[in-house]
Amino acid sequence: MGKEIELKTAPADYRFPTTNQTRHCFTRYVEFHRCVAAKGDEVSDCERFAKYYRSLCPSEWHYRECYFASFMVWESG
């Protein structure tokens, strides 16, 4: 057999006790982008936030973000 894949999702967060995880998804998304803005694109510390929002948010949202990001030019400062 091949290598086993281990699936993980974001840990439980007391700020989001209900079953609707939309706000939890958005908060993790914002935390990721705040981390990138503060520490830079290539920081592994931010990768955990990326994993959290990618596991919580619908995949269509992530694909749409990637699609539009390829057309956007971001200015810093």
Cα 32 from Cα 54, distance rounded (Å): 10
For the residues 45-68, what does the mean pLDDT come to?
A: 80
50: Cβ contacts below 8 Å, ≥ 6 apart: 32
State both tokens at 36. 């990138």
CA terminus-to-terminus distance, the chain? 51
Tell whether the model's pLDDT for residue 75 goes beyond 60.
Answer: no
Question: Looking at 32-41, 55-64, 68-77, which range is the least confident one?
Answer: 68-77
CA pair distance 68, 44, nearest whole angstrom: 23
- What does pTM read for this prediction? 0.63
pLDDT of residue 49: 87
Mean pLDDT, the chain, rounded, equals: 77
